[in-house]
Structure formats: C-alpha cells, structure tokens
Amino acid sequence: MIPRHMQITLGLLLLAFAAGGTYMFQLRQHDIRTARNSSTELPVAAPASGPQTSVMLAVAYDDDAVVESRQSNAALPPDRSGRARELLRLLLSNYLQQPSPHPLGQGSDVRDVFVVEGGLYVVDLNSAFAEEHPSGILVEQLTLASMVETLAANLPDVRRVRFLVDGKERSTLAGHADLTADYDAAAIHQFISELR
C-alpha cells in the first residue's frame, strides 16, 4: 500500500505534467497561427520596367561579423526617395532568402524613405522588421550599417540616415541598437572597414 502523502505527491506531479503539456501545446498552436497570419512574401521587388542599373549592396554576414559589398542589377525609379526605398528592399530580399547570411523576420519591409535637406534620409520600416528582428548588439548594428552603407554607396548625397518604425520614433531596434540618433554615413563606412 502506498502512503497517502505519496499518493498526493504523485497526483500533484501528474497534474503539473499535464498542465505543462497543455501549455506547451497551446504555445505551439499560437506559433502556428502566427506563422500563418504573418506575411511570408518578400518585399515588393523593384519595378521591372526601365533599364537595369548596376547597384552595390552592403550585405551583412553574421557568421563572419562583416559587411561585404555585392554587385547586383535592378531597375530603379528616377526619384531619390523611390531609388532609396527600392535599394533597401533589394537588400532585404537578400536577407529574407534561405539560406540567409543575415536572417531577418518574415514580412520585414521598408515602408518608405523620405529625403530631407542636408543629405538626411529617413527610412520608415514596418513593424514586422523591428518586432521580428533577432536581438543582439552586433546583429542589430550589422543590419543598420548594411542599410546605411547601401544607401551611401548608391546615392552620393546621403550624409545621415534616421530610422523610424511605422512612422514613429522607437528607442531601439530589438533592444540594443539606438534608433533615436541619426547614423552618419562616413562613420558607418569607417565602422564597416574596421570589421574586416
């Protein structure tokens, strides 16, 4: 005969095990629903019409902790804002492909880019970009550096870049990289050079 206190303990352990299993099942179902509801499309591709232009993308590689230049071709709109937006979307499409040198959350996109006097470009990212971005100081810095360097390499008037999320200021990207400051293109170029 099993003592009563042992029966109670065994019963409580079985109850805790069942509750934990149920909780894990619900979390899994939530993840599945979230994955189905989130956009799995890549950012909108650059316009297909018009002449193809050679562009330079500054692609981040997490494993080596570097940002390397990669040539690509794209048809870009004539206006600076549109060119900047499509350049960044082309960069993000590289990150959203599998396998990715620098994985980002599905649905990450650039909503728009605003050109301000004095060489300031304001990049408006969607919420999926920030909410699904991997957390970590180096990963976040590589993302922002690759975006600034891509803009500066293709648009000679870029001096500084500011980032917004859904049209609003946000303190950090994913907990580390500061989004309240402007990023100086020359300083970012120096940072990338020092990584090599």
* Predicted confidence (pLDDT) at residue 45 exceeds the cutoff of 60: no
The reported pLDDT for the residue numbered 34 is 66
Residue 163, amino acid: F
The reported pLDDT for the residue numbered 35 is 62
Task: Assess whether 16 and 90 both reside in one domain.
Answer: no
Within 10 angstroms of residue 146's Cβ, the number of other Cβ atoms is 26
When pLDDT is averaged across residues 16-31 and rounded to a whole number, the result is: 83
Rounded-to-integer distance, Cα 45 and Cα 52, Å: 13
Task: Assess whether 85 and 114 both reside in one domain.
Answer: yes
pLDDT band at 40 (very low <50, low <70, confident <90, very high): very low
Phi, psi of 162 (to 5 degrees): -120, 145
Give burial (CB, 10 Å; 0-12/13-18/19+) of 56. Answer: middle
Task: Assess whether 31 and 59 both reside in one domain.
Answer: no
The reported pLDDT for the residue numbered 129 is 83
Residue-range definition of the domain harbouring residue 76: 53-195
Instruction: Decide which of 145 and 102 is more confident.
Output: 145
Task: Assess whether 114 and 173 both reside in one domain.
Answer: yes
Rounded-to-integer distance, Cα 31 and Cα 16, Å: 23
When pLDDT is averaged across residues 116-132 and rounded to a whole number, the result is: 89
Task: Assess whether 32 and 66 both reside in one domain.
Answer: no
Task: Assess whether 159 and 72 both reside in one domain.
Answer: yes
Q: Are 70 and 57 in contact (CB under 8 A)?
A: yes
* Predicted confidence (pLDDT) at residue 85 exceeds the cutoff of 90: yes
Q: Residue 86 belongs to what H/E stretch?
A: helix 80-96
Task: Assess whether 28 and 58 both reside in one domain.
Answer: no
Give the total number of structural domains in the chain.
2
* Predicted confidence (pLDDT) at residue 47 exceeds the cutoff of 60: no
Give me the numbers of helices (H) and strands (E) for the chain, helices first please: 5, 6
Establish if 85 belongs to a structural domain: yes
The reported pLDDT for the residue numbered 50 is 65
pLDDT band at 49 (very low <50, low <70, confident <90, very high): low
Establish if 47 belongs to a structural domain: no
* Predicted confidence (pLDDT) at residue 196 exceeds the cutoff of 80: no
pLDDT in tens, 125-165: 998 888 888 778 888 888 899 999 999 999 999 999 999 98
Task: Assess whether 1 and 69 both reside in one domain.
Answer: no
* Predicted confidence (pLDDT) at residue 33 exceeds the cutoff of 80: no
% of the chain residues with pLDDT over 90: 29
3-state secondary structure 98-165: CCCCCCCCCCCCEEEEEEECCCEEEEEECHHHHHCCCCCHHHHHHHHHHHHHHHHHHCCCCCEEEEEE
Phi, psi of 33 (to 5 degrees): -65, -40
